[in-house]
């Protein structure tokens, strides 16, 4: 069911990074896992660069296991791809699974590497059950980084794998 509270929903506040409005809405009964007209909850539309908003949603009980209905992406996939390490760290602290795969067989590590998000790769590579796992295309995180020209990320993965 779509959630609406006055002119602003918790999804709107999350998407714009408006912490004050989000807190007000949550304190006044807005559902932290309520859905907007696109069937997304606040954590799925959050502005990942606003870690305090992410943390407020998580503290209020946002579902870290929610998946996108199109590619079956988790919010951890989204944050890793977007490259916001603080938000990824917050998700992990609230129980997000870094080993979840999307519809295409990608781990959050695959998406972070493909985008060249070095900070996120460094954060999650040691938490990933198999950093050498191939996705549905048969490509590893290192290969995805290399294919996209993200050589510093590819070298980082090589160094990690060489040490472990």
pLDDT the model gives residue 91: 98
Q: What is the pLDDT of residues 149-160, one digit of tens each?
A: 999 999 999 999
Tokens read off for 74: 């988790």
Span 1-62 CATH architecture: Alpha Horseshoe (1.25)
- Is it true that 1-62 and 64-164 share their CATH fold? yes
Residue 109, judged by CB atoms within 10 A of its CB (0-12, 13-18, 19+), counts as: buried
Q: Is 28 exposed, middle or buried (0-12, 13-18, 19+ CB in 10 A)?
A: exposed
Q: What is the pLDDT of residue 5?
A: 44
User: Computed over its alpha carbons, how large is the radius of gyration of the chain?
Assistant: 17
CA distances from 114 to 12, 93, 96, 117, 154 (A): 29, 24, 20, 8, 9
> What is this structure's pTM?
0.91
Q: What is the CATH number of domain 64-164?
A: 1.25.40.20
Indicate whether 7 pLDDT > 60: no
| pLDDT (tens digit per residue) in 53-105 | 999 999 999 999 999 988 999 999 999 999 999 999 999 999 999 999 999 99
The band of 8, judged by pLDDT with boundaries at 50, 70 and 90, is low
Alpha-carbon distance of 45 to 11, in angstroms, equals 7
Query: Domain-by-domain residue ranges, the chain?
Result: 1-62, 64-164
């Amino acid at each position: 069911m779509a959630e609406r509270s006055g002119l602003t929903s918790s999804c709107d506040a999350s998407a714009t990074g408006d912490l004050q409005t989000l807190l007000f809405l949550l304190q006044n009964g807005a559902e932290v896992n309520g859905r907007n007209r696109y069937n997304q909850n606040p954590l799925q539309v959050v502005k990942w660069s606003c870690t305090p908003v992410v943390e407020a949603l998580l503290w209020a009980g946002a579902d870290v296991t929610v998946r996108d209905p199109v590619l079956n992406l988790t919010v951890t996939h989204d944050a890793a791809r977007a490259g916001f390490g603080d938000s990824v760290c917050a998700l992990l602290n609230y129980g997000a699974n870094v080993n979840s795969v999307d519809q295409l067989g990608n781990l959050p590590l695959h998406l972070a590497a493909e985008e060249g998000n070095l900070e996120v790769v460094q954060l999650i590579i040691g938490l990933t059950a198999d950093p050498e796992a191939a996705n549905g295309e048969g490509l590893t995180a290192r290969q995805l980084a290399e294919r996209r020209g993200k050589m510093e990320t590819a070298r980082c993965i090589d160094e990690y794998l060489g040490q472990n």
